[in-house]
Amino acid sequence: MILVLNTGSSSIKAAIFDGTLTEIAGATLTGLGDADGDAVLSVTGQKQTVAAHDHGAGIAVILDALSGHEITAVAHRVVHGGTKLTAPTRLTDAAIATIEANVPLAPLHNPPALAGIHAMATVRPDLPQFASFDTAFHATQPDLATTYALPKAQRDAGIRRYGFHGLSYASMVDHFGAGIPKRLLALHLGNGASLCAILDGKSVATSMGYSPLEGLTMGTRTGCIDGMAVLRIAEEIGIDAAGTLLNKQSGLKGLAGTNDMRDLLASDGTDAQFAVDHFCYWAARHAGSAIVAMGGIDAVAFTGGIGENSAPIRDRIMAHLSFLGDVPFHTVEAREERQIAQDAMQVTT
Ligand code: ADP
């Protein structure tokens, strides 16, 4: 049985998969790191308050909650693999050091994953650990697609486009199997939103760049914004506050006060309607760019909380693309955890 862990700054999501990649149990811890030291554990819909001050304590709570299952390996979701970790890997000391070296690339995302990895190694040193990376699926992009037109010093320092949501896109490719459309426009629309040009099952372009900020209008992230506008905002409110503003207070929330698409669709307020229009229009604008990157389009596939559940949003984005003719579209369930378990099973070294 493989334990899959998705460790965020204030939450840990855990799922156990058996050898046939069926999810047989799960547990979620939220509110980790709250000032009161309490967190909320959810197991099969039952919630209880537990004491968990840090990720180490959180991992212990999760293991306790799932103690009825015999775990033989642990597989972690790690957002950023950088240029070196472009495939799922066994977590050797060297691999862990590489993830640590990538922290400057993903200061919000890699540290919690590392905390989870170290906590597991302390509590269960007997278990082999593996990692899958959100960036890895996009390693097949050509240099033209990943390079920002910057001087060599900055390019050499890793300032380039990476792309994210790769585990979702990899699971989508798996879902289609041999029947995957040749030129597939994939849209992962959740709180974070991106799209990917998938040609012959491989990423050739994606809307997120150096960080998950770039590209589509998202729940709380701006999506594309001119670098000079970023500098101006940073000049006025400081670099840290600018980072928070662009990542946490912008997007749908910045335009209409909430990042919940259901509320926006239900509202008849003009701000809400503008935010929804903005989301759909920019998804389609970036789709145009991805379609160029793969030389045309054979099908569209939607995934993520919005992509899977909201027919009105899918229809509006498809309406923007109607000039392309009758392009079929699919709705695919994002199964990132299952993908991580499958990756770990396939890593043999
Ligand atoms: P995350 O990126 O945090 O994993 P999800 O993929 O769960 O997020 O997507 C969250 C978004 O999906 C929220 O904006 C939520 O309002 C939206 N969503 C979920 N169900 C629906 C629905 N039936 N209609 C419209 N939006 C929905």
Q: What is the mean pLDDT of residues 25-37?
A: 88
Alpha-carbon distance 199 to 293, whole Å?
A: 9
Closest Cα to atom 23, ligand 1: which residue?
A: 309
Ligand 1 atom 12, closest CA: 305
pLDDT bin (cut points 50, 70, 90) of residue 65 is: very high
271 included as an active-site residue:
no
Q: Residues 144-178: pLDDT tens digits? A: 999 999 999 999 999 999 999 999 999 999 999 99
Ligand 1 pocket mutation pick from 28, 252, 310, 314 by most atoms within 8 angstroms of CB: 310
Give the CATH fold of the 2-133 domain.
Nucleotidyltransferase; domain 5 (3.30.420)
- CA neighbours closer than 13 Å in the CB half-sphere of residue 51: 0
Task: Tell me the percentage of the chain whose pLDDT exceeds 90.
Answer: 93
The answer to whether the Cα torsion of 114, 87, 157, 204 is positive or negative is negative
Distance 187 CA to ligand 1 centre (A): 13
Same fold, 2-133 and 180-336: yes
Q: Which of 34, 134, 277, 298 is catalytic?
A: 134
Q: What is the mean pLDDT of the chain?
A: 96
For domain 180-336, give the CATH number.
3.30.420.40
Long-range contacts of 305-311, Cβ-Cβ distance < 8 Å, separation of 24 or more: 305/189, 305/190, 305/191, 305/261, 306/189, 306/190, 306/193, 306/261, 307/187, 307/188, 307/189, 307/190, 307/331, 307/334, 308/332, 308/333, 308/334, 310/189, 310/261, 310/262, 310/265
Ordered by start, the domain boundaries in the chain are 2-133, 180-336
Which residues have C-beta atoms less than 6 Å from ligand 1?
Answer: 190-192, 219, 259-262, 265, 304-306, 309-310
Q: Position 231: which residue type?
A: L
pTM score above 0.85: yes
Closest approach atom of ligand 1 to CA 263: 16
pLDDT at 249 over 70: yes
Residue to mutate (ligand 1; options 189, 191, 255, 332; most atoms within 8 A of CB) = 191
pLDDT of residue 78: 97
Pairing of strands 73-78, 2-7: parallel
Residue nearest to atom 24 of ligand 1 (CA): 310
262 Cα: distance to centroid of ligand 1 (angstroms) = 8
Give the pLDDT band of residue 33 (cuts 50, 70, 90): confident
Instruction: Kindly report, residue by residue over 174-224, the tens digit of the pLDDT.
Output: 999 999 999 999 999 999 999 999 999 999 999 999 999 999 999 999 999
Angstrom distance (rounded) from CA 334 to CA 165: 10
Rounded Cα distance between 207 and 221, Å, is 13
**What is residue 53's predicted lDDT score, i.e. its pLDDT?**
85
pLDDT band at 45 (very low <50, low <70, confident <90, very high): confident
Q: Which two tokens stand for residue 272?
A: 């809400």
Q: How close is the Cα of 280 to the center of ligand 1, in Å?
A: 14
pLDDT in tens, 90-129: 999 999 999 999 999 998 889 999 999 999 999 999 999 9
Measure 14 CA to ligand 1 centroid, in angstroms: 20
Position 316 scores a pLDDT of 98
308 CA to centre of ligand 1 in angstroms: 8
Strand partners, 7: 12
